[in-house]
A and B are shown apart, each in its own frame.
Chain A
Amino acid sequence: GAGVSQSPSNKVTEKGKDVELRCDPISGHTALYWYRQSLGQGLEFLIYFQGNSAPDKSGLPSDRFSAERTGGSVSTLTIQRTQQEDSAVYLCASSPSEVGSYEQYFGPGTRLTVT
């Protein structure tokens, strides 16, 4: 595809359930990032991948959050035992090469609502 894609676009889940969010970066982009944007807030960094490794997991808000990337392409962000405060738009971005040197291209996001 031409851009970053994310699925699902919207997810409504009950408190306590696990959810999995998917990101397909632009083909050939080696760096992949996850961000979260709560209502009325700025973007909050969660985690980034360079290839399949995640050197910086400092942004993950709790141990209920995890992410993986396989084959240097698709990434999944998993939230276990969801809480209402997890409700937000989760945005994925990718960039061509060395982390920090290129602009990041964002996907359309997944809007997560925890009821």
Chain B
Amino acid sequence: EDKVVQSPLSLVVHEGDTVTLNCSYEVTNFRSLLWYKQEKKAPTFLFMLTSSGIEKKSGRLSSILDKKELFSILNITATQTGDSAVYLCAQNTDKLIFGTGTRLQVFP
């Protein structure tokens, strides 16, 4: 059974710090890997990664995929309190298989 593992489970930082969130996956019928940010109920889409080694960037957030080693990282630079959320990684086959998430708390 496909499994997605995220680490760390939780992270507490101060504003301005840089954080790296990890996601490893097991592949069968892999199509893409997705990152979501969940603050309240609905996860909001961040990135979809399909190719190895190509960094996707959006403001202070960036992500990259390594299909050989089966992992992805999500980087957030110069963190702000508004970045506090649960960050979910999901392997996209014909459905999304989610990891349990990393809970990030950013304090002033």
Chain B residue numbers with a CB within 8 Å of A106 are 36, 42-44
Chain B residue numbers with a CB within 8 Å of A104 are 34, 45, 96
Whether a CB of chain A sits under 8 angstroms from the CB of B74 is no
Contact residue among B41, B93, B94, B101 (Cβ-Cβ distance under 8 Å from A91): B41
User: Which positions 55-101 of chain A face chain B at CB distance < 8 Å?
Assistant: 55-56, 59, 89, 91, 93, 99-101
The reply to whether B101 and A100 contact each other, CB–CB distance below 8 Å, is no
Whether a CB of chain A sits under 8 angstroms from the CB of B62 is no
Contact residue among B31, B88, B96 (Cβ-Cβ distance under 8 Å from A45): B96
Whether a CB of chain A sits under 8 angstroms from the CB of B92 is yes
Whether a CB of chain B sits under 8 angstroms from the CB of A109 is yes
Total number of A residues with any Cβ neighbor in B under 8 Å: 26
C-alpha spacing A44/B94, complex, angstroms: 14
The reply to whether A42 and B95 contact each other, CB–CB distance below 8 Å, is no
Total number of B residues with any Cβ neighbor in A under 8 Å: 23
The reply to whether B31 and A107 contact each other, CB–CB distance below 8 Å, is no
C-alpha spacing A35/B41, complex, angstroms: 12
Q: How far is the CB of A65 from chain B (nearest CB, A)?
A: 15
Chain A residue numbers with a CB within 8 Å of B36 are 106
Chain A residue numbers with a CB within 8 Å of B80 are none
Residues of chain B having any CB pair with chain A under 8 Å:
29, 31-32, 34, 36, 41-45, 48, 88, 90, 92-101
Apart from A100-B95, A109-B41, list 15 A-B contacts with CB within 8 A. Answer: A33-B95, A42-B100, A45-B95, A48-B95, A59-B95, A91-B42, A99-B95, A100-B31, A100-B93, A101-B32, A103-B48, A104-B96, A106-B43, A106-B44, A109-B42
